[in-house]
């Protein structure tokens, strides 16, 4: 196969899988909402099950549900018929995945699920299948064509199923009001959770460490304050202690280029007015986003009266491994 042909085949795979996902959009209807309601109201756990490639997709769906506030685990149906189905309780909801809807192992555990009276949601490419007829909710994840050149290997169908599983999980996340703190608690060693743990108040410089000068302070005092506090910036406040500006290393360079004796000036003549500020309860990750968006290195933290409470520097965030 020539290089161009390989690229064309790869493009075909991506296009068909994307079309498989987009084909689900018209099917987001009352059945999807009913599935969400069953999962939200589940008093037990969500048991996700499936064989082969469907099972691998199911493991991912179960992991996503569990990590976003919906208790879930994966049950291998082949193990289920040898006793593991005993893990299913009456208050659980089963989320089964079967493209054909005729998976022998799933059909084998179906009688026990029915005896327990658990509700069954099925993600399938065959809405008229045996499993579909025994399910409380059937979500159609059929695709027009697999991305496999032989139209055999599960490709477009597994991608579409995974996407719909993510859609269910994200709607549930929103309904349950999962907060960044909740997410962090579920990912205590994960980088995403780590980002959600730190707030500006945890990292900012406070008290005597905050550089501060009056707006009529001579530039010699400004430079001294910046040098001693070593943050590359100083806040400038009015007589009531309210923030009116900042002087940064960049401001000093710009004043120098004006060919004006810098020591003859006062803080208010050199400062940047209306500097970027942030609240102490904001996430440190948001502070980093603001710093990067405006290509600056420091943010001032102020109270309700715009009095400086602290300063957070980009280096503080990087040292905390927020990125």
pLDDT of res. 186: 61
Of residues 282 and 38, more confidence is placed in 38
pLDDT for residue 192 is more than 60 = no
pLDDT of res. 282: 87
Nearest to 232 by CA among 217, 248, 256: 248
Helix (H) or strand (E) holding 10: helix 3-22
pLDDT of res. 133: 96
The mean predicted confidence, pLDDT, of the chain is 90
- Integer Cα distance of 277 and 295 in angstroms: 14
Confidence of residue 8 (pLDDT cuts 50, 70, 90): very high
Which pLDDT tens digit goes with each residue over 303-312? 999 999 999 9
Which pLDDT tens digit goes with each residue over 271-290? 999 899 999 988 888 888 89
Q: Are 101 and 213 found together in one domain?
A: no
User: Is residue 191 a part of any domain in this protein?
Assistant: no
At residue 49, the 3 state secondary structure works out as strand
pLDDT of res. 322: 64
Q: Are 167 and 206 found together in one domain?
A: no
Which whole number is the average pLDDT over 29-47?
96
Q: Are 128 and 224 found together in one domain?
A: no
Annotate 214-268 with DSSP letters as a single string.
Answer: ETT-BHHHHHHHHHHHTSSEEEEE-TTS-EEEEEEHHHHHHHHHTTS-GGGSBHH
Show which of 178, 209, 238 is a domain's final residue. Answer: 178
Which whole number is the average pLDDT over 34-49?
96
Q: Are 293 and 205 in contact (CB under 8 A)?
A: no
Question: The tokens 């060919």 sit on which residue?
Answer: 259
pLDDT for residue 195 is more than 90 = no
pLDDT of res. 318: 82
Which whole number is the average pLDDT over 210-237?
94
Q: Are 121 and 268 found together in one domain?
A: no
Show which of 178, 210, 232 is a domain's final residue. Answer: 178
254 token code pair:
């710009």
- Integer Cα distance of 115 and 220 in angstroms: 84
- Integer Cα distance of 142 and 23 in angstroms: 9
- Integer Cα distance of 283 and 264 in angstroms: 40
Nearest to 288 by CA among 310, 308, 314, 306: 314
Which whole number is the average pLDDT over 94-120?
95
pLDDT of res. 319: 81
**Least confident span in 79-88, 126-135, 203-212, 307-316:** 79-88
**What is the rounded end-to-end Cα distance, in angstroms, of the chain?**
42
> Domain range for residue 211?
200-319
Q: Are 95 and 123 in contact (CB under 8 A)?
A: yes
Show which of 143, 178, 213 is a domain's final residue. Answer: 178
| pTM listed for this prediction | 0.64
Q: What is the CATH number of the domain that holds 268?
A: 3.10.580.10
Q: Are 173 and 303 found together in one domain?
A: no
> What is the domain count for the chain?
2
User: Is residue 136 a part of any domain in this protein?
Assistant: yes
Question: The tokens 């659980």 sit on which residue?
Answer: 92
Confidence of residue 178 (pLDDT cuts 50, 70, 90): confident
Q: What is the CATH number of the domain that holds 66?
A: 3.40.50.10490
pLDDT of res. 23: 96
Which whole number is the average pLDDT over 230-255?
92
Q: Are 164 and 212 found together in one domain?
A: no
């Amino acid at each position: 196969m020539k290089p161009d042909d390989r690229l064309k085949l790869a493009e075909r795979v991506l296009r068909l899988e994307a079309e498989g996902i987009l084909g689900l959009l018209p099917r987001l209807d009352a059945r999807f909402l009913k599935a969400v309601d069953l999962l939200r109201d589940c008093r037990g756990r969500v048991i996700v099950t499936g064989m082969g490639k469907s099972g691998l997709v199911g493991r991912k769906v179960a992991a996503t549900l569990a990590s976003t506030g919906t208790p879930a685990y994966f049950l291998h149906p082949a193990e289920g018929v040898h006793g593991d189905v005993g893990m299913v309780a009456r208050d659980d909801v089963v989320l089964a995945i079967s493209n054909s809807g005729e998976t022998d192992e799933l059909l084998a555990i179906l009688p026990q699920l029915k005896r327990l009276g658990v509700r069954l949601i099925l993600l399938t490419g065959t809405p008229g299948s045996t499993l579909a007829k025994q399910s409380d909710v059937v979500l159609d994840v059929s695709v027009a064509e697999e991305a496999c050149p032989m139209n055999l290997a599960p490709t477009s169908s597994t991608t579409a199923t995974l996407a719909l599983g993510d859609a269910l999980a994200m709607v549930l996340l929103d309904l349950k009001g999962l907060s960044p703190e909740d997410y962090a608690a579920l990912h205590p060693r994960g980088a995403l959770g780590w980002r959600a743990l730190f707030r500006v108040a945890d990292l900012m410089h406070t008290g005597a460490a905050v550089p501060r000068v009056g707006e009529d302070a001579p530039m010699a005092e400004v430079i001294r304050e910046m040098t001693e506090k070593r943050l590359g910036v100083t806040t400038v406040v009015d007589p009531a202690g309210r923030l009116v500006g900042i002087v940064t290393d960049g401001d000093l360079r710009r004043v120098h280029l004006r060919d004006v004796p810098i020591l003859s000036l006062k803080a208010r003549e050199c400062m940047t007015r209306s500097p970027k500020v942030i609240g102490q309860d904001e996430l440190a990750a948001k502070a980093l986003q603001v710093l990067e968006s405006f290509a600056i290195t420091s943010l001032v933290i102020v109270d309700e009266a715009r009095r400086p409470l602290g300063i957070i520097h980009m280096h503080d965030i990087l040292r905390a491994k927020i990125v």
